[in-house]
């Protein structure tokens, strides 16, 4: 027999548990879906953000874009050049001569039209410009040789013939250099002429040998290294001027050799040959009106 107070507490706990019990509560809770777990903020950002490129990859893409832009500009310039050439040919317009550039007070007119940026394709303009600078360097060497020969005759007891020869060379070789090796390479790149390429190689090869003789100062052809060194015993100032002439001829010789190799690389890469040069020469001869009249 339980104590009355204990019995009252037990009965009250049973009643409270029965009152709080709801058999449908578990079913109601089970019907609600479980909330999805949200991914971490760092993980989501890693999946969404674009991959970061390295500096090498950015530099490579920048170089590729610049290369494409240069190629596009080259094609635009080539197209403009072709359109201008076709327009001049269709309308019969001839450009006025602009070379050699003469002062206005000289009572002579230029003999040729020359514009590398207009007449030469873009991919060959640097090469033609290089050959043109080699030609100018040789003309400058001839001019320095005249001055050096004058000092050599006056102060170095040199023969008078070397001064006369220096004057003849600057008058003759400067014009011949332009006509027989620069102008042919200019027309070769302008017209894709294999014959002009062959003429350029032939003339400039022998001219470079002669320039080497001038640079060395052999046989009194010019003020070169040998006679400049020998003049040190007579007059140091004249010897220094002659050394300047020797340096100028040496630079011209090296430029000629470099130009030969540079043009030859384009020549072989473009598919020109000796047979094509012969064919161009024969076609040009047969197209001459005088030859046609003889035949």
Q: Report the distance separating Cα 239 and Cα 151, nearest Å.
A: 9
Mean pLDDT confidence for 46-53:
55
DSSP 38: P
Collapse the DSSP code of 283 into the 3-class scheme (helix H, G, I; strand E, B; otherwise coil) and give the result.
helix
Higher pLDDT, 176 or 33: 176
Q: What would you measure as the largest C-alpha separation in the chain, in angstroms?
A: 158
pLDDT tens digits along 214-252: 999 987 889 999 999 999 988 999 999 999 999 999 999
Percent of the chain with pLDDT over 90: 41
Higher pLDDT, 207 or 68: 207
Three-class secondary structure assignment of 235-256: CHHHHHHHHHHHHHHHHHHHHH
Residue among 2, 1, 21, 22 nearest 10 (CA): 2
DSSP 97: P
Domain boundaries defined on the chain: 125-294
pLDDT tens digits along 70-103: 777 766 766 666 666 555 545 555 678 878 887 7
For 78-87, letters b (16+ CB in 10 Å) and e give eeebeeeeee
Residue among 217, 207, 196, 241 nearest 134 (CA): 207
- Omega into 204 within 30° of 0, i.e. cis? no
All residues at 6 or more sequence positions from 127 whose CB lies less than 8 Å from its CB, including other chains: 189, 262, 263, 266
**Alpha-carbon separation of residue 162 from 81, 166, 223, 228 (angstroms):** 47, 6, 8, 13
- The rounded mean pLDDT for the chain is 78
Element (H, E) at 289: helix 289-294
Q: What pLDDT does residue 293 have?
A: 43
Model confidence pTM above 0.75: no
CB 153 within 8 A of CB 159: yes
CB 225 within 8 A of CB 215: yes
pLDDT tens digits along 244-258: 999 999 999 999 999
Q: Looking at the chain, which runs of residues are DSSP E strands? A: none
CA end-to-end distance (rounded Å), the chain? 156
Q: Report the distance separating Cα 72 and Cα 66, nearest Å.
A: 10
Higher pLDDT, 278 or 197: 197
DSSP 112: B
């Amino acid at each position: 027999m339980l104590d009355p107070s204990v019995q009252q507490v037990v009965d009250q706990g049973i009643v409270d548990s029965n009152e709080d019990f709801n058999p449908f509560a578990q079913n109601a809770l089970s019907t609600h879906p479980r909330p999805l777990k949200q991914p971490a903020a760092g993980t989501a950002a890693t999946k969404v953000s674009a991959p970061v490129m390295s500096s090498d990859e950015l530099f490579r893409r920048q170089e590729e874009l610049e290369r494409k832009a240069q190629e596009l500009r080259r094609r635009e310039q080539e197209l403009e050049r072709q359109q201008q050439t076709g327009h001049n040919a269709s309308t019969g317009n001839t450009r006025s001569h602009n070379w050699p550039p003469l002062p206005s007070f000289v009572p002579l007119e230029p003999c040729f039209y020359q514009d590398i940026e207009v007449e030469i394709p873009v991919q060959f303009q640097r090469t033609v410009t290089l050959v043109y600078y080699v030609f100018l360097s040789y003309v400058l060497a001839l001019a320095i040789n005249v001055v050096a020969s004058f000092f050599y005759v006056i102060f170095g007891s040199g023969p008078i013939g070397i001064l006369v020869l220096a004057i003849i060379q600057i008058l003759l070789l400067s014009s011949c250099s332009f006509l027989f090796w620069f102008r042919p390479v200019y027309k070769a790149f302008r017209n894709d002429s294999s014959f002009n390429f062959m003429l350029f190689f032939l003339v400039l090869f022998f001219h470079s040998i002669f320039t080497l003789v001038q640079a060395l100062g052999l046989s009194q052809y010019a003020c070169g290294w040998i006679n400049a060194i020998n003049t040190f015993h007579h007059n140091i100032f004249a010897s220094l001027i002659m050394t300047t002439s020797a340096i100028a001829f040496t630079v011209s010789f090296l430029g000629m050799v470099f130009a030969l190799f540079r043009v030859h690389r384009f020549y072989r890469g473009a598919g020109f040959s000796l047979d094509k040069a012969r064919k161009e020469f024969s076609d040009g001869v047969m197209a001459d009106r005088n030859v046609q009249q003889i035949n």
